[in-house]
Structure 1
Amino acid sequence: MLCPMHPSRRNHVMRQIAVALLIAIALAPGTAPHASGAFTEPTQIRQAAERFVAELADGRGTVHATAGHLDARLRLPACAGELTPFLSPGAVVRARTTVGVRCAAPAWSVYLPVTVESEAPVLVARRSLRRGEVPLAADFDRSRRRVPGLAAGFVMEPDALGGQRLRRAIAAGEPLATAMLESPPLVRRGQSVTAVTRAAGIEVRLSAEAMANAAAGDRLRLRNPTTGRLLDGTVQPDGTVEVLP
Structure 2
Amino acid sequence: MFCFSHAYADDALLQQVHQFLYQQTQSLGEEVVIELRPPSPHLPPCVQPEPFLPNAGQSPIGRVSVGVRCGETHQQVRYLQAQIDVIGSYWVAQHDIERGTLITPDMLVQQSGNLSNLSSQALIDKAEIVGKIAQRQIRSGSAFQNHFLQAPSLVERGQRVTVIAQGSSFRVSREGEALESGAQGDRVRVRFNTRELVTARVIEPGILMVDF
Alpha-carbon contact 2:186-2:202 (below 8 Å) kept:
yes
Alpha-carbon contact 1:49-1:100 (below 8 Å) kept:
no
What is aligned with 2:177?
A: 209
What is aligned with 1:154?
A: 123
Q: Does 1:57 align with 2:56?
A: no
Q: 1:82-110 deviations in whole A, cap 9, x for unaligned?
A: x3311248543354543212333596431
Rounded Cα–Cα distance in structure 1 between residues aligned with 2:107 and 2:90: 13
Q: Does 1:234 align with 2:198?
A: no
What is aligned with 2:59?
A: 93
1:217-232 map, 5 Å: 217-227=185-195, 229-232=196-199
Computed over aligned residues only, the root mean square deviation of the Cα atoms, in angstroms, reads: 3.6
Quote the sequence identity (%): 24
4+ residue runs of structure 1 moved beyond 6 angstroms? none
What is aligned with 1:15?
A: none
Look up the SS of the partner of 1:212 in the other structure.
Answer: coil
Look up the SS of the partner of 1:186 in the other structure.
Answer: strand
Structure 2 length-normalised TM: 0.71
Larger CA Rg, structure 1 vs 2 = 1
Equivalent position to 1:136, from 98, 104, 122: 104
Alpha-carbon contact 1:122-1:176 (below 8 Å) kept:
no
Rounded Cα–Cα distance in structure 2 between residues aligned with 1:208 and 1:68: 58
Q: Which has the higher strand share?
A: 2
Look up the SS of the partner of 1:99 in the other structure.
Answer: strand
Alpha-carbon contact 2:160-2:206 (below 8 Å) kept:
no
What is aligned with 1:13?
A: none
Look up the SS of the partner of 1:52 in the other structure.
Answer: helix
The answer for unaligned runs of 5 or more in structure 2 is 1-7
Look up the SS of the partner of 1:174 in the other structure.
Answer: coil
- Aligned pairs, how many? 199
Structure 1 length-normalised TM: 0.63
The answer for unaligned runs of 5 or more in structure 1 is 1-39
What is aligned with 1:84?
A: 50
What is aligned with 2:211?
A: 244
Amino acid at match of 1:242: M
Amino acid at match of 1:155: I
Look up the SS of the partner of 1:138 in the other structure.
Answer: helix
Look up the SS of the partner of 2:182 in the other structure.
Answer: coil
Q: Which has the higher helix share?
A: 1
